[in-house]
Amino acid sequence: MSVVDTIKEQIENNTILLYMKGTPRFPQCGFSSRAVEAIMSCGERFAFVNILENPDIRAELPKYANWPTFPQLWINGELVGGCDIICEMAASGELKDMVVAAAQTEGDAEA
C-alpha cells in the first residue's frame, strides 16, 4: 500500500482525525498543543496520527492535502485546516458544532 493510500484510508476510516506532532497527551509543538486543546474542549473522541513517528506521512500529506503545515484537522473526509483555523472556529463555537455533528453521524453509522 502506498503512503497516499494509507493517508486516504486513515481519512476515510476516521470521522474526526488530527494529524499532529506528538500525541494528544504529549503534543510536541505549540501549534499541535493548541489544536488538541480546542478539539478536546468539544467533548468528543477523535483519532490522531503522530507525524513524528510517521515520516512518510509527514512528507506526503502536505502534497496530498495541498496544505503545507501541521497540525491538520480532517472531519468527514474534508480538511478543516490548521491551528489558527481550528482555534478561530473553537472561539466562535463553529468547531464544537462541527465536531459534535460529525461524532453524532459516526454514532448513527455504528448503530
Q: Where are the domains of the chain?
A: 3-110
pLDDT, tens digit (0-9, with 9 covering 90-100), for 61-102: 999 999 999 999 999 999 999 999 999 999 999 999 999 999
34 is an annotated ligand-binding site residue: no
pLDDT category of residue 110 using cuts at 50, 70 and 90:
low
CA distance 72 to 32: 9
Could you say which of 3.90.1580.10, 3.60.70.12, 3.40.30.10, 2.40.280.10 is the CATH number of the domain covering 3-110?
3.40.30.10
83 is an annotated ligand-binding site residue: yes
56 is an annotated ligand-binding site residue: no
